[in-house]
Amino acid sequence: MREPTMLHRLAAEFIGTFWLVLGGCGSAVFAAKFASADGVSLGIGFLGVALAFGLTVLTGVYAFGTISGGHFNPAVTLGAALARRVEWKVLPAYWITQVIGGLVAGVVIYFIAKGRDGWSATGNMAANGYGEHSPGGYSLVAVLITEVVLTGIFLLVILGSTDDRAPKGFAGLSIGLTLTLIHLISIPISNTSVNPARSTAVAFFNGDGAPMQLWVFWLAPLVGAAIAGIAYPYLFGRHEELADRPVRDDALEDNAAP
């Protein structure tokens, strides 16, 4: 079977990250709080938003995992590279593509939401934050710990679920349900990032302090992912190093990230 080219892999990462942000952040913007004409709440709340994020990753992994690995997240790509599941040389292209895919989804969410009379993007784009910008008023330290720990656990689940020793066909389910659980834990704390591309996608539309706090949602997920990527082979052994396989990345030099 012909290996995917770099262009194919970047297209998969672009669409997958776009879908994650559109489905996850879109559900938070459009459906988390919604009242009927008679005032009855029809919103999906924290549980619904958590499920939306989990479902986007679940469906994205099954649709695109065989093409690009189904990362949709710079932290996942870093952890996978450290665990020797993906080639280091693809990391810059993956990161750029993931950020652009997320930003395009942010643009779509913004313009759809602007179609509602009286809606303002300021503070209403599902941005991440700490202190007064945390949904529950959690401190910077609390948010840093949460994002590092949960991203680390997320990477351990991803690496374990995609290990050649794991049962075949269940990785998407395991990864999607883990992301759902992560959101159930941490939406009140940081509005849940564990994904720098997701955070970047809406921060600048949201304003209200989100751009100034964005560094946290790059630093903490990358640290958590790096710890997990380094630790996994030592904790559980390395059955196969995918980065040692010959892959068709000849298009890397010829194709820039979307």
Q: Give the whole-number percent of the chain exceeding pLDDT 70.
A: 90
User: Which pLDDT score, from 0 to 100, does residue 1 have?
Assistant: 64
Give the C-alpha distances (Å, rounded to integers) separating 94 from 13, 124, 166, 234.
Answer: 7, 28, 25, 26
Q: Three-state DSSP class for 38?
A: coil
0.85 exceeded by pTM: yes
**Max Cα separation, the chain?**
61
Residue ranges of the domains in the chain? Answer: 6-238
For residue 3, give the amino acid letter. Answer: E
Report the alpha-carbon distance of residue 238 to residue 251 in Å, rounded. Answer: 28
Domain range 6-238, CATH class:
mainly alpha
Residue 252 pLDDT greater than 60, yes or no: no
Cross-strand pairs, 41: 35
What is the per-residue pLDDT across 2-47, written as a single tens digit (0 to 9) for each? 788 999 999 999 999 999 999 999 999 999 988 766 777 789 999 9
What is the per-residue pLDDT across 177-207, written as a single tens digit (0 to 9) for each? 999 999 999 999 999 999 999 999 999 999 9
What is the per-residue pLDDT across 62-109, written as a single tens digit (0 to 9) for each? 999 999 999 999 999 999 999 999 999 999 999 999 999 999 999 999
